[in-house]
Structure 1
Amino acid sequence: MGEIDRRSALMFCVATAGTTLVATNPTVAEPYRPDEGKELAPGVRLVEVSEREAMHGRDSVLPGYKRIKIFDIVFQPKVRHKDDAMRNDMVCQCVDGEMRLDHRDGHPFTVKRNDVWTCVKGEPEDTENIGDGAAIMRVINLMPA
């Protein structure tokens, strides 16, 4: 085997670091087992991701909200799910897949990977996985004070 020069060693280190960054990127959904989390309905599961009540020794920096709770909702292919009322204000992101959403306001919309949207407490939401694989909706649930 020939000698490794500095340029080759540097390129190897950069490639290794890049692979590590991609592998640990928190925006990339980790696949869930079919039985992981809590079943909300057939083909729909809720997986808790994270929760925080205080921010660095003080109450939440968002007025009106005491804590945040993050969870993923996994929709199997072609599954439809209706929710008549959001329990809290939320920020949602399509982490994987493609979904059609309808807040029953006459403006249904489609989201794909990395799209983001909001939901208001009390608002209904109908969700349909329109892709061929599982779709994952990440929900940042804003819990009132």
Structure 2
Amino acid sequence: MIPGYKTVSLIDLVFQPQSNLPVSAMPNAMICHITEGELMVLQDGKEFQAKKNHVWTCAEGTKEGARNDASALAVMRIANLLTV
């Protein structure tokens, strides 16, 4: 029902303490939500702290990475907005 997007898929990424996801270009638009813990997110060169219940978006091609500096696990739920 969102114009321009045919499919939405959901995935959860679980970050163990002290783990990270290297910076890479996003393959499609996404909505991200921290459901547990907190992450440091680097998005297009700007860093922010995403605590539990934080929600943000990225466009196709946005360069983003994340790391869990905490001693507890963190979970990022991603809604992939797909045009195909």
Shorter-chain TM band: over 0.9
> Which runs of structure 2 are paired with 1:1-145 in the superposition (5 Å)?
61-105=1-45, 107-145=46-84
Greater percentage in helix: 1
In 2, Cα distance between the equivalents of 1:74 and 1:83?
A: 17
For 2:25, what is the secondary structure of its paired residue?
coil
- Please, what is the CA RMSD of the aligned residues? 1.1
Q: Which amino acid aligns with 1:137?
A: M
Greater percentage in strand: 2
Greater RCO, CA 8 A, separation 6+: 2
What is the CA distance between 1:81 and its match in structure 2?
1.4
Q: Which amino acid aligns with 2:49?
A: T
**Structure 1 unaligned residues grouped into runs of 5+:** 1-60
In 1, Cα distance between the equivalents of 2:19 and 2:83?
A: 30
What is the CA distance between 1:104 and its match in structure 2?
3.0
In 2, Cα distance between the equivalents of 1:117 and 1:130?
A: 19
In 1, Cα distance between the equivalents of 2:40 and 2:76?
A: 11
For 1:133, what is the secondary structure of its paired residue?
coil
In 2, Cα distance between the equivalents of 1:143 and 1:76?
A: 28
**Structure 2 unaligned residues grouped into runs of 5+:** none
Runs of 4+ in 1 over 4 A off after TM superposition: none
For 1:108, what is the secondary structure of its paired residue?
strand
TM-score by length of 1: 0.55
Q: Which amino acid aligns with 2:60?
A: K
Alignment: residue pair count: 84
In 2, Cα distance between the equivalents of 1:126 and 1:93?
A: 14
Greater Rg over alpha carbons, structure: 1
Percent identity, please: 37
